[in-house]
Amino acid sequence: MDGIFETQPERTDLPLVVMPVVIASMIEPFKKNFAMLENVARVRMYEDFTLDEDTIVERCKDADAVMVIGFHCTDAILDRLPNVKCYAFGGTGVASYINLDKSKERGIRVCNVLHYGDHAVAEHTMALLMELTRHAGALDAQVKQGDWDGADGFELFGKRLGIIGLGGIGQTVAGIAKAFGMKVSAWNSHVPAQVFADLGVTPVDDMNELIAGSDVVSVHMPLLDSTRGIIAAENLEALRPGTLFVNTARAEVIEPGALLARLQRGDIPAALDVFEHEPLTADDPLCKIPGIVLTPHIAWRTDGAYIGLTKQVVQSITAFFKGEDFNVVV
């Protein structure tokens, strides 16, 4: 059939892995990794993109394992696919895409991928920050409309960046920021002292102190049970007017509704790649706030990230069918 790529279709004795949705740029990287599943499992990859739940369920009805790329595996999908025993998610923050408690109760394995997009997300973080400070995209639109007024910039050199979440992505952002001549601090949350020393980053134990003392705040916390809502409304009160705020992590690490309430005051320029409800709709209140830059959760989408991501997704499926562990979350 057109639009479907299959491996070993004649091997009906093998378990079936279905990828019901795929991002076009990932198709070739995935195909290069499917050899790992030879004589282990057959693959059926639908080479289009849809968020229609009924379509996803129909495509996965005979699957033993599902590769989750670009869609939220809702409770309704889990309930309608009782035969699926493994979900391999193409990202790190799987908790906002699959109900981990429900999966655990049902004995379903859920896997994610790690450190595949440290540079991709870090670079997008800086792209968002540069848009806030130098307005390249907005100025491009102005010039093409015959407007030569321009806009004042905000120089990053010498400014203080406060990072919340000094893992792989946060560390990469810190390195780039240091190259810009920024001073970098980070919230000290179980990060070894040597990491701070090696990066030349100042540890700050109190989140309010970090936020209040920063010219730019960038969030890089993974979404875990322990980090859900960890940035509270009280913490956002510490943002001084004019502080730049960037989130390329997960919206759920912030207390629900707290960021919208803070940004609606209109004194915090912000750039966001993640949202409490995705996809974001045009009538969302965030879209009505002036001076905010929004992108559609694509920080991770680069050619380099796809190489590591696709390999790890296939590795996790291969390990599952071989009785091994690889990137197991539950």
List, by residue number, the catalytic residues. 250, 278, 297
What are the backbone angles phi and psi of residue 9, rounded to the nearest 5°? -60, -25
Burial 82-113 (b: 16+ CB within 10 A, else e): eebbbbbbbbbbbbbbbbbeebeeeebbbbbb
Is residue 62 within 8 Å of residue 19, measured between CB atoms? no
By three-state DSSP, how is residue 58 classified?
helix
Distance CA 27, CA 18 (A): 13
309 token code pair:
């991501």
Q: At 18, which amino acid appears?
A: V
In the chain, beta strands by DSSP E? 4-7, 16-19, 42-46, 65-68, 86-89, 109-111, 160-164, 183-187, 202-204, 216-219, 244-247, 270-272, 292-294
**Helix or strand or coil: residue 17?**
strand
Write phi, then psi, for 152 (nearest 5 degrees). -75, 145
